[in-house]
A and B are shown apart, each in its own frame.
Chain A
Amino acid sequence: MEKLKYERPVINKINAGTPDKFGMNTRVKVIDEIDGVKVSELLKKYGSPLYVISEKTVRDNYKDAYRAFSNRYPKVQFAWSYKTNYLDAVCRIFHDEGSWAEVVSGFEYDKALSNGIPGGQIIFNGPDKSDEDLLKAIDNSSFIHIDHFDELYSIIRLTKNTNKKAKVAIRVNMDTGIYPQWDRFGFNYENGEAWNAINRIMLADNIDLVGLHTHIGTYIMTPQPYYVAASKLSELAVRTHKKYDHAIKYIDMGGGFASKNTLKGAYLPGKDTCPSFDDYADAITNAILNSEIKPDNLPVLFLETGRALIDDAGYLLGTVLANKRLANARRATIIDIGVNLLFTSFWYQHEIYPAKECSNVTEDTTIYGPLCMNIDIIRDAVQFPVLQKGDHVVIPRIGAYNMTQWLQFITLRPNVVLIDNDKNVNIIREKETLEAFKNLEKIPGHLNGK
């Protein structure tokens, strides 16, 4: 006789008066494959946990963003924000689609060069550029985005004895109506610092002011601040042109577009509230086109979009390690994905789904990672289906910042695979080994006795 399908027994109390928006009968969503490749097979072959990136999604997202801007504005150039995800394979997909590179350190700069990006297509941002970095960037004709006066004076000093001009932009911070206002990077617009910096640069011999840059923040949930920011940069461009008869060649609006993840504490899911690329593009291009900038001098529009291009191309697959009850009888599920691998769980209420069909019964559950630390919580409270030890889970939309801010803590980092457009699975970063890790360590002689 064939046995009946088994599911862990569950009893849930019905709380009258507090309508449960999840209810008992909402269908439990399942992610059992990614781009046609079975999750169970991925985990079997490459181990658990596992990062998976969909090349198709990366390319689709890029094309969607490029379409939104290039349909509205004649000159658009994206530069891939390396810090968002600098796995070489990922960067190369963006470069293949036409993206330049946006970097914020010497390490990222060299990585971009090693990915075949010419220096003249690298935007160098950030407050941390050594003299060596600056000289290299000047030599390679990269675009140096100046963050502070100390950096400006370093460039003035370094270009004194060269015959090469530094190509620079200034980063501008400003009030765009959002909170918090990011005023720690670049020169402030409202108090006149940005205008001061422009005047100082225009007086320097070997520095060419080619652009104006801003990055107003990250996960900006409405397009309006971008309209304000682009208007203010356009105004600076017009003023510079008026005073010096010098046309600004590009306006760089930075990154910051929201991805479809839900922020902690948000009432509505990010999927429903996140503006589209068209919404952001409308705001930015309208501001520039409606400004006083003369049509002949229309600057190239640079964009350094990070998370909105890559977040939903990344998945983290894992396995249930244990189910237990907390002191108050609450369900707790421990999975093999901790905050060391999912840094963004500090900001996002990540969705988490079973990897195989299960009933629609759920329990109010806290999902913990495997680390021996109290902060290792993936979800505080989620209506979660009744999984057993060994069952697989999928966390979607993790492509941004996790593969750069991950921590080597307690466990080694697992494999990262890329599913290409032909559904081939390629390892793009091998799981770390104890040997590779120990190779960097040195034991002093007196401890190396036996």
Chain B
Amino acid sequence: MKLKSNIAVSDSGFLFDPTTGDSYTLNETGKVILEMLKEGKSEKEIISEFTEKYDVDEGTFEQNLYDFLRMLSHYNLTEI
């Protein structure tokens, strides 16, 4: 999944979509995932990095990640 290129994320977890003018808030893990997506990381890479760094098992994280990615596309923040 690819994030739209013009999307800006602040350190404090605010996300701005210049195309629509909409803003969003992210929690800490949401922000980290967004940064990884911006760096062009694949879902597989995100899962392995996350489960290494955070106290979460792979099954739970995978479920949570796909739910989160679905919300990104729901808000039209991803490239089609």
Contact = CB atoms under 8 A, between A and B. Distances in A.
Interface of A: 3-14, 16, 24, 323, 325, 329, 359, 361, 386, 388
B72 A325 contact: no
A3 B57 CA distance: 12
Nearest to B55: A3
Output the residue of A5, A12, A323, A388 with the most chain B CB within 10 A: A12
A181 to B, nearest CB: 48
In the A-B complex, the 7 residue pairs with the closest CB atoms? A9-B30, A6-B56, A3-B55, A6-B54, A361-B27, A329-B74, A9-B68
Given A10-B30, A11-B72, A5 B25 contact: no
Output the residue of B15, B32, B64, B72 with the most chain A CB within 10 A: B64
Contact of B25 (A11, A325, A386): A11
A357 to B, nearest CB: 14
B65 interface: yes
Nearest to A24: B25
Contacts of B54: 3-6
A4 B71 CA distance: 24
A208 B26 CA distance: 72
Given A4-B54, A361-B27, A9 B70 contact: no
Nearest to A359: B27
Given A325-B67, A329-B70, A7 B27 contact: yes
Interface of B: 15, 22-30, 32-33, 53-56, 60-61, 64-65, 67-68, 70-72, 74-75
Contact of A323 (B25, B67, B71): B67
Contacts of B23: 13-14, 16
Contacts of A10: 26-27, 29-30, 68
Contacts of B64: 8-9, 388
Given A6-B29, A6-B55, A13 B24 contact: yes
Given A325-B70, A329-B74, A4 B27 contact: no
A16 B23 CA distance: 9
Nearest to B29: A9
B27 A386 contact: yes
Contacts of A5: 54-55
Given A325-B70, A386-B27, A11 B55 contact: no
26 contacts: A6-B55, A7-B28, A7-B29, A8-B29, A8-B67, A9-B33, A9-B64, A9-B68, A10-B29, A10-B30, A11-B24, A11-B25, A11-B30, A12-B25, A13-B23, A13-B24, A13-B75, A14-B22, A14-B23, A14-B24, A325-B71, A329-B70, A359-B27, A359-B28, A361-B27, A386-B27
B27 A388 contact: no
B15 A11 contact: yes
B29 A12 contact: no
A361 B31 CA distance: 13
A329 B53 contact: no
Nearest to B60: A388
Contacts of A3: 53-55
B71 A329 contact: yes
Given A11-B26, A12-B24, 9 more contacts: A3-B53, A4-B55, A6-B55, A9-B27, A9-B29, A13-B22, A24-B25, A325-B67, A359-B27
